[in-house]
């Protein structure tokens, strides 16, 4: 299969690949959040928890330099201005400095992900090794917590004046299924890191490896009782095998088609609200969580927003509203409800400008040639149907990375109507080894 790719000149803020360092730092911190919180706290090294955020500040500068100045992306400039305006709006909405600081910190991983706009994860060899190790250790962590009580379970710590609990031990509705957190601080996120690290690692692995470790990952994910993650993992593994059964020249087109169709998942909550709104949620039943989302999580925020700030239904209510900064640091905490959907939660904060942004992301996906980004688009679109994914930071970072093509030099040139040089690549190797990314950015990392 022949593929098309741009060969953009990559501009670095410094000689290091700062976006890769930031992603690795966030991933290690969050995937092992329970461990990190416990040991940094008892060793009085709490400041280390915020080290990835410091690196992310450099990525914010690199985003401005590379995407706005170098690529001359009007979209990047508009998005930056919109985020800053929404931070100001969120400050007035939430009413406290701590909420504003938490909201700013919450958005930093977005700029890390956006910095991958002109490059591919496949070109970061060391970063891929970190992700692979994270996958194996995440599996081991969940299995260990099935048999051993870890010291960080139930440990409480303070952040920005709010008390949180790392690795809280609790059970799912209706039985003895304990929600295992592994090395992470929360069971859903433990499952999320297994899902994402498997999806990224599987791209360069053989089909046999994918089936064996995919099956193990499904079993371990079941131990976390995260039904959403398990369903997405099963679906991903089935589609991966199906794609590799196709003729070689058809595989990349199939991957991009799957990624494009996955955006239809954005509409799932609305269809479910139309079909099942008002259905009684019976506690201790399998469908309790999804019915509760339909009746409360996906609807109540709009009811409260119409009371607090009616214009926010169009403009959004600012960064942090109906998110954890409001829950932890705002006088409006009693209006907070969990918004278990990324797109609904983000619309509440940014309003119609976010809709326009997603239209541009969808358009950019038609020209995306990086299999890693296409794979992650499918994964996050499926996963975020029932998960907000703003915490921990790595969740939002992965989403931003998958959308980053919208800021690429190719996308900026296409929007400006400029001619974009096209370079024919060599035939793609067999997907048994599955190295279809053929890195867009020159040079190994």
- Cβ atoms within 10 Å, residue 69: 13
pLDDT, tens digit (0-9, with 9 covering 90-100), for 368-414: 999 999 999 999 999 999 999 998 899 999 999 999 999 998 887 77
Please state which of the ranges 26-30, 271-275, 342-346, 421-425 shows the lowest mean pLDDT: 421-425
Q: In what helix (H) or strand (E) does residue 442 lie, and over which residues does it extend?
A: none
Burial of 304 (0-12, 13-18, 19+ CB in 10 A): buried
**C-beta separation of 392 from 189 below 8 A:** yes
Q: Name the average pLDDT for the chain.
A: 87
**What are the backbone dihedrals phi and psi of residue 140, each rounded to the nearest 5 degrees, phi first?**
-60, -40
8 Å CB contact between 416 and 391? no
Q: What are the pLDDT digits (tens) for 177-217? A: 567 889 987 889 999 999 999 999 999 999 999 999 999 99
Q: Looking at the predicted structure, is the pLDDT value of residue 300 above 90?
A: yes
423 sits in which H/E element = strand 423-424
DSSP H helices, 43-171, are 51-63, 74-94, 97-114, 125-147
Asked if pLDDT for residue 13 goes beyond 80, the answer is no
| Model confidence pLDDT, tens digit, residues 34-53 | 899 889 888 989 899 999 99
From CA 83, how far away is CA 81, in angstroms rounded?
Answer: 5
The angle formed by the CA atoms of residues 79, 341 and 110, to the nearest 5 degrees, is 30
SS (H, E, C) 141-162: HHHHHHHCCCCCCCEEEEECCE
Token couple for 213:
């470790």
pLDDT of the residue at 162: 55
Model pLDDT, residue 16: 63
φ, ψ for residue 255 (rounded to 5)? -65, -45
Predicted confidence (pLDDT) per residue in 149-187, tens digit: 888 776 655 555 555 555 443 334 444 456 788 998 788
pLDDT of residue 327 exceeding 90, the answer is: yes
Query: Coil, helix or strand for 178?
Result: strand
pLDDT digits (tens, 9 = 90+) for 97-148: 999 999 999 999 999 999 999 999 999 999 999 999 999 999 999 999 888 8
**DSSP letter assigned to residue 48:** G
Q: What is the pTM of this model?
A: 0.88
262's CB contacts (< 8 A; 6+ apart) are 377, 378, 381, 382
* Mean pLDDT for the stretch of residues 358-364: 97
Rounded CA-CA distance 2/429 in Å is 10
């Amino acid at each position: 299969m022949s593929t098309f790719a741009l060969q953009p000149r990559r501009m670095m803020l410094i000689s290091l690949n700062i976006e890769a360092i930031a992603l690795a730092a966030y991933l290690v911190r969050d995937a092992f959040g329970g461990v990190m919180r416990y040991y940094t706290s008892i060793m009085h090294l709490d400041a280390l928890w915020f080290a990835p955020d410091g690196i992310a500040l450099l990525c914010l500068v690199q985003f401005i330099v590379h995407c706005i100045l170098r690529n001359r992306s009007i979209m990047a400039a508009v998005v930056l201005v919109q985020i800053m305006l929404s931070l100001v709006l969120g400050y007035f909405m939430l009413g406290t400095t701590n909420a504003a600081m938490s909201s700013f910190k919450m958005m930093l991983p977005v700029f890390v992900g956006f910095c991958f706009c002109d490059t591919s994860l496949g070109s970061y060899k060391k970063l891929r090794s970190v992700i692979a190790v994270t996958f194996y250790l995440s599996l081991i962590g969940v299995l260990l917590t099935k048999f051993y009580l870890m010291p960080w379970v139930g440990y409480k710590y303070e952040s920005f004046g709010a008390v949180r609990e790392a690795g809280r031990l609790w059970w799912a509705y209706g039985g003895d299924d304990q929600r295992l957190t592994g090395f992470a601080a929360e069971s859903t996120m433990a499952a999320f890191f297994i899902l994402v690290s498997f999806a990224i690692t599987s791209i360069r692995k053989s089909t046999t490896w994918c089936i064996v470790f995919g099956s193990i990952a499904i079993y371990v994910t079941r131990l976390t009782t995260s039904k959403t993650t398990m369903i997405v993992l099963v679906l991903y593994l089935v589609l991966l095998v199906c794609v590799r059964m196709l003729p070689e020249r058809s595989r990349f087109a199939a991957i991009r088609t799957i990624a494009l169709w996955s955006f239809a998942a954005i509409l799932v909550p609305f269809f479910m609200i139309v079909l099942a709104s008002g259905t009684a949620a019976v506690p201790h039943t399998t469908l309790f969580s999804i019915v509760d989302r339909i009746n409360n999580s996906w609807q109540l925020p709009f009811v409260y927003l119409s009371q607090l700030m009616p214009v926010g239904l169009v403009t959004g209510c600012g960064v942090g509203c109906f998110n954890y900064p409001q829950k932890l640091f705002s006088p409006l905490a009693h209006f907070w409800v969990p918004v278990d959907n990324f797109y609904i939660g983000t619309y509440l904060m940014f309003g119609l400008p976010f809709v326009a942004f997603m239209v541009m992301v969808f358009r950019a996906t038609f020209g995306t040639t990086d299999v890693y980004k296409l794979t992650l688009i499918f994964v996050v679109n499926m996963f975020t149907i029932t998960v907000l994914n703003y915490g921990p930071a790595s969740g939002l970072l992965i989403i931003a990375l998958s959308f980053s093509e919208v800021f690429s030099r190719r996308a900026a040139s296409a929007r400006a109507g400029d001619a974009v040089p096209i370079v024919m690549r060599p035939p793609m190797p067999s997907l048994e080894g599955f190295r279809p990314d053929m890195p867009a950015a020159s040079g190994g990392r």
